[in-house]
Amino acid sequence: MESKYQYFKRDISWLSFNYRVLLEADDDSLPLYERINFISIYSSNLEEFYKIRVAEHKAVASGGRSDDMTQDEARQLMHQITEVVNSQMEDRIRIYERKIIPALRAHHIVFYQSKQEVEPFHQEFVRSFFQEEIFPYLQPVPVCKDRILTFLRDNRLYLSVRLTRKDTGEKEYYIIKLPYSKVPRFIELPRQGENFYLMYMEDIIKANIDRMFPGYDLDCSYCCKISRDADILVDDAVTSEVMVEQLRKKVKKRKIGAVCRFVYDRKMPADYLEFLLAAFDINRDELVPGDKHLNLEDLSHLPNPNKELAAPPKPVPMKLACLDEKESVFRYVNKKDLLLHFPYHSFGHFIHFLYEAVHDPACREIMITQYRVAENSAVIHTLIAAAQNGKKVTVFVELKARFDEENNLATAEMMKQAGIHIIFSMPGLKVHAKVALVLRYNKEGKQMRSYVYISTGNFNERTARIYADSGLFTSNEVIVNDLHTLFRVLQKEVTEPKFKRLLVARFNLLPELRKRIGHEIDMVRAGKEARIILKMNALQDPAMISELYKASEAGVQIDLIVRGICCLIPNQPYSRNIRITRIVDSFLEHARVWYFHNGGKPLLFMGSPDWMRRNLYRRIEAVTPVLDEDLKLQLIEMLSIQLRDNRKAGWVDEHLNNVLKRDPDAEQIRAQYAFYDYLKAKNGR
């Protein structure tokens, strides 16, 4: 019998999230360059979406195998994606051209958009800059349909040019790769009076095309770009050594993957577009019309010559006052669990935790997972120092962390040479858990007080400044032993583990979640208060969504704080007690925190997984209960503040619209900044 429950399509829900990112660029209350950065983020997100998700659907539509959809379903989904993206692109163009560019000009930053706009006092500069700084790096390549197939590199911006020979009247086509590695995309021109001036590199090239092609008349020129399939498929059944070799080879081929998107200036004439499609062997279903200026993810590097436009400083990561002058995490955690919240707290506390392990004579062993680490990582350097100091260091390296494969391979090799024991990806699984374990022993070899760190985010000092995550330090003996058991699973020493407190995906996580939801249903049926609050990045698994639908039907009040994909449909008869909040602000909401009312004795959990099928069934994920009552209240306050946000939060409705929670008459609450103030008042210095 067909289920009465319905679910949003995963990719259409993701597009709704990315549109919410774009809406930040439309918010006049934000600093101008912050709005510009949101256009960059929107564009970068979309690029990755095409490289991975659309590329996957394209393969299925072309006859590839999939457990999730048929060939016809893949084609229909791609058509729906195209419609949504084209609609969003209209808004992106409107925001950029009609709001951002005029706002820059209002702040005395003039952004020349064409040769015709260049003032007389800048014309000589534009000519000489082209001749001296750009022209030496340009290599026009003729485009000859049916003769030579020119290869276009992934995500590189090209200028396509159509010319007419003066002697014969014959039309010729050329393609020019923009020399990003040699010349900045955005060129600052000399200041005039109170005005600053900027110009795109490609517009300077267009203004000087005639100097590149003597004997030709310029017909027209337009930018275009290719997005290629960037997913890397490796054989999960092979040994780690073979997998490493496969990855090394396939990473190098990522930039020559199959075409999944051809983006072009929508003002390009139809006959010109048809020529390019034939010349580059592009299918019509790969077309995405864009603006005159493509690759707007580059706007994150837009110069800001007007220092009066500097954005207000963001919250400065604070040191915890609860630690003594020597900042001994060990000493504090001996007595009481400790929570860190990034980027509000300093990531230096975690680095210091590792340093303490390096220099603690009782510390014999450190175990940690690596999913995504920063380049030149302080975490990795500290682990190497530990190995050099005689500690046994074990690092589980997940090779299949998308777009971090090369960095993970490089850091793994560096650690291996330093004497660190490296465990690579497990066959058929990703290890997404973010956990660290410090084991301590006395002289007789008996285990002493040891320490655990369980996080919602990666051990990455760079992303810890922009991702909103939480991490728990504890010396609870049961959790320490559970995490030690998990590492023994990763080392293939244990095949049927028993976890007492730690919740681990593919073992005891799902049964416990169903039990907690079921208990809330029992409470409401007994006439008692029942409440669930779930904060995560994505909610996609139909089985768990159905559990929430059942709880809603029973009368359980459910609040979801979901930043990205959310396949649960609100405002239906079976979801009338479920509300979906989405927060997009200065920092990327990344924490996974779950609250169950539990008859007035709240249960709080935090860890690495979202409620997606891949996380719940195909990955190793770790979730810890938060046992300390003070820390429970801290997390409850965080969730409460986020649910009260009326500046950057919005409801997701039954049509996937982002309905902003704006109430000018109410007290204005911007959750990220309000939570920082709460933490600062409570324990910062």
Residues with a known catalytic role:
432
CB-facing half-sphere around the CA of 250: CA atoms within 13 A: 20
Please, what is the Cα angle at 596 between 566 and 533, to 5 degrees? 30
Please count the other Cβ atoms lying within 10 Å of the Cβ belonging to residue 526: 9
DSSP reduced 3-state for 407? helix
Helix (H) or strand (E) holding 124: helix 120-129
Token look-up 């800001």 returns 304
Q: What is the per-residue DSSP string for 236-274? A: TTS-HHHHHHHHHHHHHTGGG--EEEEEEETTS-HHHHH
DSSP reduced 3-state for 212? helix
Please count the other Cβ atoms lying within 10 Å of the Cβ belonging to residue 585: 18
Token look-up 């209960």 returns 625
Residue 86 identity: N
User: Which among 268, 260, 297 is positioned nearest to 36, based on CA atoms?
Assistant: 297
User: Residue 630 — φ and ψ, nearest 5°?
Assistant: -65, -40
Contact 5, 546 (CB under 8 A): yes
**Burial per residue of 261-275, b for 16 or more beta-carbon CB atoms within 10 angstroms, e otherwise:** bbbbbbebeeebbeb
Please count the other Cβ atoms lying within 10 Å of the Cβ belonging to residue 572: 15
CA 169, CA 163: separation in Å to the nearest integer?
9
Contact 583, 646 (CB under 8 A): no
Kind of pairing, strands 467-474 and 503-504? unpaired
- 637, 638, 644, 649: CA torsion to nearest 10: 180
User: Which among 438, 464, 434 is positioned nearest to 369, based on CA atoms?
Assistant: 434
CA 637, CA 90: separation in Å to the nearest integer?
39
Residue 33, CA distances (Å) to 21, 36, 301, 312, 572 in order: 14, 5, 10, 11, 40
In total, the chain counts a number of residues equal to 685
Q: What is the per-residue DSSP string for 640-677? A: HHHHH--SSEEEE-TT--EEE---TTSPP--HHHHHHH
